[in-house]
Structure 1
Amino acid sequence: MPDRVEKGSKDPQQEKVGKITIEQLKTIAAEKLPDLNCSTIESAMRIIAGIAANMGIDIDPPVLEPKKKKELV
């Protein structure tokens, strides 16, 4: 596991506070699965990846697609 970070980033889009691997993400998701509102490890990984992204933690390789802005026509 990587070193613990005291707190998440104030600006997670610009400032990253850490990085985890897919294997580390899978380990965390497996541990948290009973507490999450999902039934598969893949769903749990996506939930944890979203939480990590909101804290400024990168996942290598990326799991989530970046959000794209919708244009009003």
Structure 2
Amino acid sequence: MSKYIAAAIAAGLAALATSYGNAKVISKTVESMARQPEIAGTLRSTMFVGVGLIEAVPILAVVVAFLILFV
């Protein structure tokens, strides 16, 4: 029973951390675009790379949760 709780906590905390990280990255990018609209394209590209890297965290957490459940 405890391994189910551990898996749920791992996936849940990863989702919370990811949402916080994405919110920070996107808000700072929008703020920077408002300050310097001429480099909006570069900022947008960099933001997509950052968000993609941040999104890897919950994917890995789900893999770890499955490993906890089935190993």
- Which TM-score band applies after superposition, normalised by the shorter structure? 0.3 to 0.5
Tell which structure's C-alpha radius of gyration is larger: 2
Normalized per residue, which structure has more helix?
Answer: 2
TM-score normalized by the length of structure 1 = 0.33
Normalized per residue, which structure has more strand?
Answer: 1
Which structure's relative contact order is higher, taking Cα pairs within 8 Å and 6+ residues apart?
2
